[in-house]
C-alpha cells in the first residue's frame, strides 16, 4: 500500500494520476510566474533547464528568471501525459514537463506552436 501511495504521489501510476500530477506542477509553475515568485518557479524547473537559463543569462536562476517575459495565464486547459513526458496547455502558454525521481519538473516554458516545426520556447534545457 505504501508503494502505491508513493507511486501516486510522484505521478508514476495510472494515466489519470500522471495527468493530475503534471497539471498540479503546471498550475504551481504558472502561479509562481503570475505572482513573481521566481524562487518557486526555479524550484519547479528541471535541472538542465535551470542550468541552461543560468548559463544563458549569466545569473542565478531567480534573477535570470525575472528577466524572462513569460505570459501570465489563468487556468489549465489541456494536459497530455505520455509515460514520463507531459504537455500542459494554459490559456496563454504551453509547458513541457518530464518526470524525475523528485516528481514532475518543467523542461520548457513560454512555448508557442509553429506550423510544421517544433514549439518555440522562451525557457528550455540544452
Domains of the chain as residue ranges with CATH: 2-124 (3.10.450)
Confidence class of residue 14 from pLDDT cuts 50, 70 and 90? confident
Say if CB 54 and CB 33 are below 8 A apart.
no
User: Whole-angstrom Cα distance, residue 50 to residue 43?
Assistant: 9
Any idea what DSSP says for residue 79?
E
Alpha carbon distances (Å) from 7 to 1, 62, 117: 10, 30, 35
Lowest mean pLDDT of 11-15, 33-37, 108-112, name the range.
11-15
- Percent of the chain, pLDDT > 90? 79
pLDDT tier at 8, thresholds 50, 70, 90: very low
pLDDT at residue 3 in the model:
36
pTM, two decimal places: 0.86
Q: Is the pLDDT reported for residue 12 higher than 80?
A: no
Chain-wide mean pLDDT for the chain? Answer: 88
Lowest mean pLDDT among 2-16, 37-51, 60-74, 94-108: 2-16
Per-residue pLDDT, 13: 57
Amino acid at each position: 500500500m505504501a508503494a502505491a501511495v508513493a507511486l501516486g504521489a510522484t505521478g508514476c501510476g495510472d494515466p489519470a494520476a500522471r495527468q493530475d500530477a503534471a497539471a498540479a506542477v503546471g498550475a504551481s509553475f504558472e502561479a509562481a510566474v503570475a505572482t513573481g515568485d521566481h524562487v518557486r518557479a526555479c524550484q519547479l524547473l528541471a535541472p538542465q533547464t535551470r542550468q541552461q537559463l543560468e548559463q544563458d543569462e549569466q545569473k542565478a536562476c531567480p534573477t535570470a528568471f525575472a528577466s524572462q517575459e513569460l505570459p501570465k495565464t489563468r487556468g489549465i486547459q489541456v494536459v497530455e501525459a505520455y509515460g514520463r513526458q507531459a504537455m500542459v496547455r494554459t490559456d496563454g502558454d504551453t509547458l513541457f514537463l518530464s518526470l524525475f525521481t523528485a516528481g514532475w519538473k518543467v523542461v520548457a516554458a513560454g512555448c508557442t506552436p509553429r506550423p510544421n516545426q517544433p514549439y518555440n520556447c522562451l525557457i528550455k534545457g540544452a
